[in-house]
Chain A
Amino acid sequence: MHRRETPLDPAVATELEALEAALAGDPAAERELVALVRDVRTEAPAMSPSFRAQLDERVESGFARGGTAASAGRSSRLRGLLPGAARSGAPREPSPGRSRRTPLGSRPLIPALGVAGCLLAGIVAVVLATGGSSDDSGSHASSVAATQAAPAERQSSGAGAGDAGSSSGPSTDLAAPSTKSGSTAQAAPSTPAAPPTNGGRHVERSTRLELTTTDVQRTADGIVRATQAAGGYVQLSQVRTADRNAGATFVLRIPTAKLDDALASLSKLGHVRAMEQSANDITGAYDSAQSRLADARAERRGLLRALGKATTAQEITSLKARIADNRSALNRLQSEFNAVRRRANYATIQVDVTGRARTQPVTPGGSWSPGDAAHDALRVLEVAAGVALIGLAVLIPLAILGTAGGLAAGALRRRRRESALNAAAEPI
């Protein structure tokens, strides 16, 4: 830093030149100044020969740490140099405060500790920054599975007891059968397993299943095969095999007794994203239809008996008309009863299949192309740049604070030193 130079007063400059001449031993120098220089120099404190010899030895040895004990206190470090101590053979008692001095050797540890602290803070920041964003999906998925397992179990126990009513809710429990066959036995009991006429009750059951798969057509074929194996039939099917938006929708009718087996088979065909199940007690509708059908049949039998006993043509014509009406009613009631019975005997399964992009596995055989390498390298650079950015965001403020603190400490130290010189001027 350049300071603004104030020019010397010419008189002062002249006297300083005279002093320099006297100091240099110029014969033309002012005699009084020459004498003053000589006297002041004569009064200069001189080293004792023993101290000079020891200091010479230490300088020649390069201030070897072993002998100087730089890591120890300053008094102990310098005690061996003291001529007084050497003469007396006893260690010199340090003056108060001298032994409190921080060893010179420990001073470089302060910036080292600062750098280490900055690095540690940067590493912690990087770990926090990277750890918080990488596993979001995984942790969310596991938490969903954990929280939804309980409703699935409640649903299973409720349906097993034959309670009427519907229950629905997504469940991922059946994802297990797609991975391990051993888990299939555990997953199957979790689905509603109530027989259609449990305890004389008639229950209509329906299930909605969402599957994701990488091969929609293959999954669709599997659904048809599983349906046929369960003795059911496909009521509706829509399959889309486009590259994008591939998917399929099926409405299956499965005998209620085979519902659990069918669900287990279907769950193996893809990843089960969700499953909703409902149970509707239709005992009243079933009994009502059955009763009306029985009444119509009883009426038909009575009409037929009356027809056999009829003697007049008018009676016969009237009975035949009533029998015809009864036949129509009987057919309608039979259809209604069959419909109700089919609702109880066949469960409805709606399967929604969603296609997903196939991940490209990196095979060790050599499908790793230069493009993949460039992509990986770019990714590594992105991560490295991110880490460096985070590190700088931590280190720069710390460096600014450290620099400001160092400057302040230096200024304070200089001020204290100067004040020590002022204190030395005070009378003892």
Chain B
Amino acid sequence: MNLPLRRSSSVEQTLTMAIDQQPAPAAASFEALYRASAEAVFAYVASLLRDRSAAEEVTAAAFERAFRKRRSFDPRRGTQRAWLFGIARNAALDELRRRKRAAALTDEPLADEPAADSEAEAAERRATVRAALAGLDPRDRELIALKFHAGLGNAEIGAVLGVSANNAGTRVHRALTRLREACHAPS
């Protein structure tokens, strides 16, 4: 499977800022929001659920729910991306609640594909990171996804989780520390 080209964070920030400047998520701005956030939302949901099929269902449901509720978006309560990830989070947690347990990741993106980097060292490093991510607490994995995949700021993460920006930053730092410890831990 070919990985989609990942846009640079500066481009993503530019898109995000343009979207956030919209006064209301009209249909056109919603499509722009979708195109800017679809991959990140899927990555975030898949990190929570660890189930590719379920992640696709929940991602589609989250975007449909966001589309239906796009007029209820209040810019005073946060950015559109934070609003969208909040919806995705609720949908993912609802799915987790229905299943009552976390299913094993059945279709890891890179599990059955050759590494893009042919260097053995890089491949080993990514395998270590993959294992470290899999061993993280779901809450830490969620924070890593929101920070690394979605590129949300601390205030946006706080809006998604329902905590303050500083609290979100502290949690992100804690999750990062645990990820680094897991990466450095002897296998």
Interface residues of A (CB under 8 A from B): 3-9, 12-13, 15-16, 19, 23-25, 32, 35-37, 39-49, 51-52, 55, 58-60, 62-63, 68, 70, 74-75, 77-78, 81-84, 92, 95, 97-98, 100-101, 104, 414, 416-426, 428
Contact = CB atoms under 8 A, between A and B. Distances in A.
B129 A52 contact: no
Contacts of A16: 154, 169, 172-173
Given A43-B133, A62-B27, A423 B100 contact: yes
B57 A36 contact: no
Q: Which 8 A-B pairs have the closest CB atoms?
A: A45-B46, A424-B102, A417-B93, A420-B97, A420-B96, A44-B43, A39-B129, A97-B98
17 contacts: A5-B164, A19-B173, A19-B176, A44-B145, A45-B108, A48-B52, A52-B38, A55-B38, A55-B59, A58-B63, A63-B64, A74-B61, A416-B97, A421-B93, A424-B138, A425-B137, A428-B104
B15 interface: no
Given A47-B56, A55-B60, A5 B96 contact: no
Nearest to B180: A36
B1 interface: yes
Interface residues on B, range: 35 or more
B71 interface: no
B57 A78 contact: yes
B56 A51 contact: yes
Contacts of B166: 5-8
Given A19-B176, A45-B46, A68-B64, A3 B169 contact: no
A419 B125 CA distance: 33
B142 interface: yes
Nearest to A424: B102
Contact of A45 (B6, B47, B102, B103): B47
Nearest to A99: B98
Contacts of B100: 97, 420, 423
Given A43-B130, A51-B56, A78-B57, 4 more contacts: A43-B129, A48-B52, A52-B4, A421-B48
